[in-house]
A and B are shown apart, each in its own frame.
Chain A
Amino acid sequence: MAREKVVENYDVIVIGGGAAGLTAGIYAGRARLKTLLLEKSLVGGLATYTNEVENYPGFPNSPKGEDITNLMKEQAKKMGVVFKLTDVKSVDLEGEEKVVETFRNKYIAKTVILATGGRPRITKAKNEENYLFDKGISFCATCDAAANTGKTVVVIGSGDAAIEEGMFLTKFADKIIVSVLHDEGKMDCNEIAKEAALQNPKMSFMWNTVVESFEGEGHLDTVVLKNVKTGDLIPISCDTCFEFIGYIPNTEIFKDQINLTPQGYIVANEKMATNVEGVFACGDVVEKWLKQIATAVGDGAIAGFAAEKYIAESECFHDIILQKEKPGLTYIYNAVDAPSREFLTSVKKIEEGLIGQVQVNRVDVYKSTGLADRLNIKEFPAVVLTKNGKIVHSFIQDFTEESILREVKEII
């Protein structure tokens, strides 16, 4: 019953429409690259779950997260980014043609930016799926604190997020009961948060507990905790249960192609490049220290810029370095190295001596070794000779004007 998929070509495909993906799209679009952004549900990402964004620079009036990301979307559209709201079913990222498939289309792109973010981890306790989000289990204190004014809430977890969000909840709710897996007095959060939480009269702690089940008619009204040491079941009446037990990065469909941390986050370097050439990553899906709109925007910009540089480099590599018109001589050097600079004179001599018979290129690796990497050259200076778009000879470090000239004459 497979329907024929419509094939479309793009320069850049961004997977994920949160703050990082939108920013990458803005940068790619502005570089006049044909850019497609794929988002599985709604544009805006995790930021849209936040009612007041207090710390994104430039917005002093605490807007809703959605308001900020809607502006980003508008800006991306203005830059010509194409949006498709559908799930990515599979990717094939190796090679120069990257393939991204949805249920209706097969998209082919020169470069792919992974900005798939993450989702909250859940306890997997009994009946949990019946109460997720609007039915009593929340993952966002900022979103749901006000609705719990004067009420009793349960918080699951003891990491920084759990305790800091729990403290925030004390401004609204009357009673915050925190379920902690560890022994009394032990928490995963930082010491300052821990001290403050232990002294907060609205907070109480259930040590050595995990969630056994969630109960309630239609809406959650009881969380049943289980003491992991005694096995005792402890039912706790509450209005909302907040789960802060971490995030799971959305990397399942990349895991066989992209290097991930043991927790599943994408490993990217300072240029947001992954282990696969031409594939970049940004935002919460990347292993990093601080996950905020501001940092997502920061690495989104880098990823978009890097994608543009990668494409420009690819074009230079194919159209100039590996041109097929005549034999090619490419001198690869580091401009900060004086002897390498001096050898440029010899390169010029060779070029003038063989006027018109050889295409001579000079590649300075000072800023980027991208082109050298493509020629498989790791040490400099080096000379690569090509014919019909193929490498026929490489000289690494140990060469002279004469030795090069001898080889060049062989291939003319």
Chain B
Amino acid sequence: MNEVVLDCMGEACPVPLIKAQNKLKELALGDLLIVQIDHSCAMKNVPEWARKEGYNVEVEEVDDGEWEVIIEKTK
């Protein structure tokens, strides 16, 4: 049950989404992926994709305009 941080600061859509999708493939069941973003569009499409896939998702606003999308690989 590892926690992996993926730094996507300064990256615009769809880069964070693609990076998150690729990274999650490498992770094991039960691992957490923490995607750090500062583009509001990624704050929508990354969690939307993860939820649609059926993963557990939490978005935390760590600062004004900076978010962490926390995804648990549940399957």
Chain B residues in 8 Å Cβ range of A83: 61
The distance from the CB of B51 to the nearest CB of chain A, in whole angstroms, is: 7
* Binary flags per residue of A209-226, CB closer than 8 Å to B gives 1, else 0: 000000000000000000
Partner of B58, one of A1, A3, A42, A104: A104
Would you call B60 an interface residue if the criterion is a C-beta within 8 Å of the partner chain's C-beta atoms?
yes
* Binary flags per residue of A85-108, CB closer than 8 Å to B gives 1, else 0: 111000000000000001110000
Partner of A104, one of B29, B47, B61, B70: B70
Between B32, B47, B48, B59, the greatest number of chain A beta carbons within 10 A of the residue's beta carbon is seen for B59
Q: With A42-B44, A103-B72, A104-B70 in contact, do A1 and B30 touch (Cβ < 8 Å)?
A: yes
* Binary flags per residue of B54-73, CB closer than 8 Å to A gives 1, else 0: 00111111000000001010
Quick one: closest A residue to B70, CB to CB?
Answer: A104
Contact A84 B56 (CB under 8 A): no
Cα separation A41 to B58 with both chains bound (whole Å):
9
Partner of A41, one of B47, B56, B72: B47
Cα separation A84 to B32 with both chains bound (whole Å):
17
Chain B residues in 8 Å Cβ range of A42: 44
Quick one: closest B residue to A42, CB to CB?
Answer: B44
Contact B56 A85 (CB under 8 A): no
The distance from the CB of A350 to the nearest CB of chain B, in whole angstroms, is: 57
Q: With A1-B30, A104-B70 in contact, do A84 and B57 touch (Cβ < 8 Å)?
A: no
Tally inter-chain residue pairs, CB-CB below 8 A: 33
Partner of A85, one of B1, B30, B60, B72: B60
Contact A103 B56 (CB under 8 A): yes
Contact A85 B44 (CB under 8 A): no
Cα separation A311 to B30 with both chains bound (whole Å):
38
Chain B residues in 8 Å Cβ range of A41: 47-48, 51
The distance from the CB of B60 to the nearest CB of chain A, in whole angstroms, is: 7
Contact A87 B29 (CB under 8 A): no
* Binary flags per residue of B15-27, CB closer than 8 Å to A gives 1, else 0: 0000000000000
Chain B residues in 8 Å Cβ range of A102: 58
Chain A residues in 8 Å Cβ range of B51: 41
Chain B residues in 8 Å Cβ range of A84: 58, 60
Contact B60 A3 (CB under 8 A): no
A residues with CB within 8 A of B:
1, 3, 41-42, 83-87, 102-104
Q: List 5 A-B contacts (CB under 8 A).
A: A41-B51, A86-B56, A87-B56, A102-B58, A104-B56
